[in-house]
């Protein structure tokens, strides 16, 4: 049986895989949102999802270690590793203390940040294309925008988890030292400034090439302004939260 799902939230994905296992469907493969299940005894396997430094590969050490632990590597996708263990062989939870959970979620956060930056770059390229009149350009802009919002939402969730975990062992001192608390992000200021610049560009009646370039410049600045303002609001909110 194959099911299609898009998860940004790794914890929800884990819950989904374990729910399927409870129903008698064991994941055996994953590719780009398609989950392939074979039948198993209900609850036969417990699934866990890990993140590693590599892409589509794990170190020999990791492979050997998990084998020694009777943990099976089901599949690799990007930086993600889907693991499972027979439920009868005892509890299976990858990270069992606060410190290693912090490391785990910090790794997820770094990965999400890198993806968010790539998304923003792609989004700009698509916006440029759409303004130049590439067919279905705006559709791509919309899709990329939606993905970006999903990633930013997940980043906020992971950030919340990290703050909570660090609070538990009292290691949130670093953030106070570097003055990260309770300030308004500089991005917000940049966004508002750009927005002001756009408003100050006078309406010029021109035709042909000139009109296109003025329109392009205005559109580009407006998009930048909106992105900076959104980023500013998000970062400000993080610092307060």
Q: Report how far residue 39's alpha carbon sits from residue 1's, in angstroms, rounded to the nearest whole number.
A: 8
When binding is defined by CB under 8 A, the residue of 2, 4, 68, 174 that contacts other proteins is 68
Q: Report how far residue 231's alpha carbon sits from residue 155's, in angstroms, rounded to the nearest whole number.
A: 12
- The piece of 90-98, 135-143, 146-154, 156-164 that touches other proteins (CB under 8 A) is 90-98
Continuous H helices in 36-97: 60-68
Interaction between residue 97 and other proteins (CB under 8 A): yes
Of residues 66 and 194, the one with the C-beta less far from other proteins = 66
Please state the closest distance from residue 64 (CB atom) to other proteins, in A: 6
Interaction between residue 7 and other proteins (CB under 8 A): no
- The piece of 38-46, 65-73, 121-129, 196-204 that touches other proteins (CB under 8 A) is 65-73
Interaction between residue 174 and other proteins (CB under 8 A): no
Dihedral over Cα of 221, 231, 14, 98: its sign: positive
Strand bridging mode 34-39 / 45-51:
unpaired
Please state the closest distance from residue 62 (CB atom) to other proteins, in A: 7
Interaction between residue 224 and other proteins (CB under 8 A): no
DSSP codes of every residue in 126-189 = HHHHHHTT-TTHHHHHHHHHHHHHHHHHHHHHHHHHHHHHHHHHT--HHHHHTT-SS---HHHH
When binding is defined by CB under 8 A, the residue of 65, 142, 213, 237 that contacts other proteins is 65
Q: Please report, as ranges, the residues that interact with other proteins according to CB under 8 A.
A: 48, 50, 61-62, 64-66, 68-69, 71, 91-97, 99-100, 103-104
């Amino acid at each position: 049986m194959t099911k299609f799902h898009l998860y940004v939230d790794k914890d929800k994905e884990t819950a989904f895989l374990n729910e399927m296992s409870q129903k008698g469907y064991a994941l055996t493969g994953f590719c780009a949102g398609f989950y392939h299940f074979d039948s198993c005894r209900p609850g036969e396997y417990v699934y866990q999802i890990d993140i590693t430094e590599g892409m589509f590969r794990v170190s020999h050490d990791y492979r050997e270690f998990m084998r020694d632990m009777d943990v099976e590597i089901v599949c690799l996708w990007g930086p993600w590793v889907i693991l499972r263990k027979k439920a009868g062989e005892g509890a299976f939870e990858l990270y069992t203390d606060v410190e290693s959970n912090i490391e785990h979620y910090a790794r997820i956060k770094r990965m999400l940040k890198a993806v968010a930056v790539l998304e923003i770059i792609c989004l700009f390229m698509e916006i440029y294309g759409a303004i130049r009149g590439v067919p279905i350009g705006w559709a791509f802009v919309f899709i990329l925008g939606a993905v970006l919002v999903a990633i930013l939402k997940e980043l906020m969730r992971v950030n919340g988890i990290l703050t909570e975990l660090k609070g538990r062992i009292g290691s949130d001192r670093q953030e106070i030292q570097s003055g990260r608390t309770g300030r308004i992000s500089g991005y917000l200021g940049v966004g508002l400034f750009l927005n002001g610049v756009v408003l100050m560009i006078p309406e010029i009646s021109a035709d042909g090439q000139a009109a296109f370039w003025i329109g392009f410049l205005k559109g580009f600045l407006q998009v930048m302004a909106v992105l900076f303002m959104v980023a500013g609001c998000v970062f400000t909110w993080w610092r307060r939260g």
